[in-house]
Homo-oligomer: A and B are copies of this chain.
């Protein structure tokens, strides 16, 4: 039901995913009448691979997370997360209210023992392919220990979904020299240096998309991570606006645009933000993927695809085991 467009987007995206992956099963959670109306528009029939779980309420995009948690016990997001808790679903994908989704997921699923706070992880396109980044906005203030926990969880996720043994981990800072940064970042660097992680040191903001070397995972607090993510979105938008303006200037530039069209199209596809939609909440005892609220069908499909991969790769179990191993190792020191 969630997101700016609701079932208009989530249902066509779900049907597309079912068509693409014959092993996928989806449970649509929300108002049964509304969902059935939308499903009736499609000639596709996936039988038992597509079921509906009714939920009588819906959390509004601007609703306070605490109120949603307290008052809407039959909301679509709450019911969907309950399915994950009860083992009836392997993951929950939602385009709804981020704060409410996070609060509900945390309340229903509980944290992995040893992890203090959930973090939001996603990928950003880079000149080397892509980079995983966390936290993208769940935690505005983080201690060094929180940043370290994010690194442990993030590295395990990268290992699993990218099939690499020892992903490189960088800590986002305002310079690469040891003396740079605030106290939390400096203390987190010490924890990372002493760990078994493949820690490569401080990286700067440009490393998110185009650093001097490839870094698999970049760790930061949720305030900085969120501002960086949105700054990149703004930069991409400004560049797109400027490029479009230049190509629409006059008849000659419009002709040039026509000639360059296939190139510009391929370029646009390569950095299409819809192909990077879907962020995982890490640190919970269950898989929850947050789609951008404004996602269209393609973007929401990407988010469902992330859930498929993380379920296949058994990410939650691997993270839980790694967290347990890392913590017992630290306590043993």
Contacts and interface: CB of A to CB of B under 8 A. Distances in A.
Nearest to A126: B238
- Chain A, interface residues (CB within 8 Å), range: 35 or more
B141 A182 contact: yes
A233 B205 contact: yes
A125 interface: yes
Among A206, A207, A222, A252, the one with the most B-chain Cβ atoms within 10 Å of its Cβ is A206
B182 A205 contact: no
A276 interface: no
A256 B177 CA distance: 43
Given A246-B266, A263-B246, A239 B206 contact: no
A259 interface: yes
B267 A257 contact: no
Contact of A140 (B181, B227, B234, B247): B181
A209 interface: yes
A231 B256 contact: no
A111 interface: no
A148 B18 CA distance: 53
A312 B154 CA distance: 52
Contact of A262 (B140, B172, B220, B256): B256
Interface string A65-101: 0000000000000000000000000000000000000
A204 interface: yes
Contacts of A140: 174, 180-182
B228 A228 contact: yes
Contact of A234 (B208, B224, B252): B208
A127 interface: yes
A209 B234 contact: yes
B232 A234 contact: yes
B260 A256 contact: yes
Contacts of A207: 234
A266 B252 CA distance: 13
A263 B247 contact: yes
Contact of A238 (B210, B262, B263): B210
Interface in A238-277: 238-239, 241-243, 246-247, 249, 252-253, 255-257, 259-260, 262-264, 266-267, 270-271
Contacts of A325: none
A30 interface: no
Among A180, A220, A260, the one with the most B-chain Cβ atoms within 10 Å of its Cβ is A260
A137 interface: yes
A226 interface: yes
Given A205-B226, A223-B224, A231-B235, 11 more contacts: A127-B237, A127-B238, A140-B181, A174-B222, A205-B234, A210-B237, A210-B238, A246-B267, A247-B263, A256-B262, A256-B263
9 closest A-B pairs (Cβ-Cβ)? A205-B230, A206-B234, A205-B231, A209-B234, A209-B238, A235-B235, A174-B226, A210-B237, A140-B182
